Amino acid sequence: KQEVTQIPAALSVPEGENLVLNCSFTDSAIYNLQWFRQDPGKGLTSLLLIQSSQREQTSGRLNASLDKSSGRSTLYIAASQPGDSATYLCAVKTDSWGKFQFGAGTQVVVTP
């Protein structure tokens, strides 16, 4: 069974610092991996989608890498801002229909 782990569970940094969030998964047979942002009591916002054949994706200050063979993905957020405070989830797609296995998330707080 696929298991997704996110480390650390929580992270607090001062504004301006770069953020590094880690995600690991036990089964390398994935279709893709997505990073999401979740704000308290709200739904999810997709940040980046990395296909299994890709090694990284970038969008603005966000960069996500994928090493499928080692079962790891890292989300980098450059020059963090207080508005980046949220919980970040990674999820791997485990079948062709769209079933995803989620990690428990990393709660990020960026202090002004």
Partner 1 sequence: GAVVSQHPSRVICKSGTSVKIECRSLDFQATTMFWYRQFPKQSLMLMATSNEGSKATYEQGVEKDKFLINHASLTLSTLTVTSAHPEDSSFYICSARGRPNEKLFFGSGTQLSVL
The footprint of partner 1 (CB under 8 A) covers 4, 31-32, 34, 36, 41-46, 49, 89, 91, 93, 97-105
Number of neighbouring beta carbons within 10 Å of residue 64 = 25
Q: What is the nearest approach in angstroms of partner 1 to the Cβ of residue 19?
A: 20
Q: What is the nearest approach in angstroms of partner 1 to the Cβ of residue 51?
A: 8
Q: What is the nearest approach in angstroms of partner 1 to the Cβ of residue 87?
A: 10
Q: How far apart are CA 47 and CA 88, in angstroms?
A: 9
DSSP-based three-state secondary structure for 12 = strand
